[in-house]
């Protein structure tokens, strides 16, 4: 039988606040060893200290409570360590993103590189292998790389060569609500047969104002601003999806500074 302590003493032992301990009880994450049925007083066993310490560390790393729950309830050490490693990987990715944003912030505060060159262009109707899904902005990078990998695999399976650069179209909701329908496509000859998973689809064209974005995707809003401002001042924007055409990007190009992407804003004739 291990010693029992009050919630206050358990808090001093573990450095977890009393309010947090009550919360963890309420959600079932760390129920006290005993609860007095008449007074409601919580009593914790000293053996619960290590669990509380683990929870505290994970929360200090901003792991969401459902994740903490999974770690604490993990059946064995490998499962537990995998859940923790997962979170540390997500934190690394977050850190990378933050580095990118800091760089983007600096570039925003420096004087601009001169006006962006803009073109009017009529893009014809295409035939393409496509994937379409509602995607949130946070997931867009991962989803796109997975989707393009799938499209190129399908193209190889159908023994066709892409006949132009890959692209994607973004519904207005993707920008306005931070989540919306995204369609990625790889253009193929109209004669391409359906593969096991994918039939070629038409991708309708139209008239666009086009600007080339050079550099990492973190910076995208600058080119969007340039293209969109030009449209607002000189053309009539259409509510159609905005198109991006990936002239140079991952996985072939490794350095984000070398990425080149066309941003195509649909306008009326």
Contact partner, 207, from a second copy, DNA, none, Cβ < 5-8 Å per class = none
Among 34, 36, 96, 178, binds a second copy (CB under 8 A): 178
Q: Which residue, 87 or 147, has its beta carbon nearer to a second copy?
A: 87
CA gyration radius, the chain: 26
Nearest to 48 by CA among 13, 84, 18: 13
Locate tokens 């000189």: which residue?
234
Among 91, 93, 194, 199, binds a second copy (CB under 8 A): 91
Separation of alpha carbons 172 and 184, rounded Å: 15
Contact partner, 49, from DNA, a second copy, none, Cβ < 5-8 Å per class = a second copy
Separation of alpha carbons 182 and 136, rounded Å: 9
Stretch binding a second copy (CB under 8 A), from 28-36, 52-60, 197-205, 247-255: 52-60
Q: Is 224 in the site for a second copy (CB under 8 A)?
A: yes
CB of 47 to a second copy, least distance (A): 9
Contact partner, 42, from a second copy, DNA, none, Cβ < 5-8 Å per class = DNA
Q: Is 177 in the site for a second copy (CB under 8 A)?
A: yes
Q: Is 109 in the site for a second copy (CB under 8 A)?
A: yes
CB of 55 to DNA, least distance (A): 8
CB of 144 to DNA, least distance (A): 20
Instruction: Tell me, letter by letter, the H, E, C secondary structure of the chain.
Output: CCCEEEHHHHHHHHCCCHHHHHHHHHCCCCCCCEECCCCCCEEEEHHHHHHHHHHHHHHHCCCCHHHHHHHHCCCCHHHHHHHHHHHHHHHHHHHHHHHHHHHHHHHHHCCCCCCCCEEEEEECCEEEEEEEEEEEHHHHHHHHHHHHHHHHHHHHHCCCCCCCCCEEEECHHHHHCCEEEEEEEEECCCCCCCCCCCCCEEECCEEEEEEEEECCHHHHHHHHHHHHHHHHHHCCECCCCEEEEEEECCCCCCCHHHCEEEEEEEECC
CB of 31 to DNA, least distance (A): 11
Q: Is 98 in the site for a second copy (CB under 8 A)?
A: yes
Contact partner, 159, from a second copy, DNA, none, Cβ < 5-8 Å per class = none
Nearest to 265 by CA among 209, 204, 184: 209
Among 133, 229, 257, 268, binds a second copy (CB under 8 A): 229
Among 79, 194, 225, 248, binds a second copy (CB under 8 A): 225
CB of 140 to a second copy, least distance (A): 11
Sites of contact with a second copy (CB under 8 A) = 2-5, 8-9, 11-15, 17-19, 46, 49-50, 53-54, 56-58, 60-61, 81, 84, 88, 91, 95, 97-98, 101-102, 104-105, 108-109, 172, 175-178, 220-222, 224-225, 228-229, 232-233, 237, 242
């Amino acid at each position: 039988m291990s010693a029992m302590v009050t919630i206050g003493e358990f808090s001093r032992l573990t450095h977890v606040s009393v309010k947090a301990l009550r919360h963890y009880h309420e959600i079932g994450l760390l129920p006290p060893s005993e609860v007095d049925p008449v007074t409601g007083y919580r009593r914790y066993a000293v053996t619960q200290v290590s669990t509380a310490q683990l929870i505290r560390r994970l929360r200090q790393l901003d792991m969401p409570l459902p994740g903490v729950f999974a770690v604490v309830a993990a059946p064995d050490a490998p499962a537990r360590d995998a859940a923790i490693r997962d979170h540390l990987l997500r934190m690394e990715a977050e850190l990378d993103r933050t580095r990118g944003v800091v760089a983007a912030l600096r570039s925003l505060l420096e004087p601009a590189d001169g006006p962006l060159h803009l073109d009017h262009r009529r893009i014809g109707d295409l035939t393409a292998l496509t994937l379409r899904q509602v995607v949130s902005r946070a997931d867009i990078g991962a989803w796109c790389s997975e989707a393009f990998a799938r499209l190129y695999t399908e193209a190889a399976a159908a023994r066709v060569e892409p006949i132009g650069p890959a692209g994607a179209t973004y519904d207005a909701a993707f920008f306005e609500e931070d989540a919306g329908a995204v369609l990625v496509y790889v253009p193929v000859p109209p004669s391409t047969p359906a593969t096991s998973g994918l039939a070629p689809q038409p991708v309708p064209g139209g008239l666009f104002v086009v600007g080339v974005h050079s550099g990492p995707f973190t910076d995208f809003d600058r080119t969007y601003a340039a293209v969109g401002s030009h449209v607002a001042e000189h053309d009539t924007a259409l509510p159609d999806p905005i198109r991006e055409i990936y002239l140079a990007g991952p996985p072939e190009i490794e350095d984000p500074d070398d990425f080149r992407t066309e941003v195509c804003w649909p306008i009326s004739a």
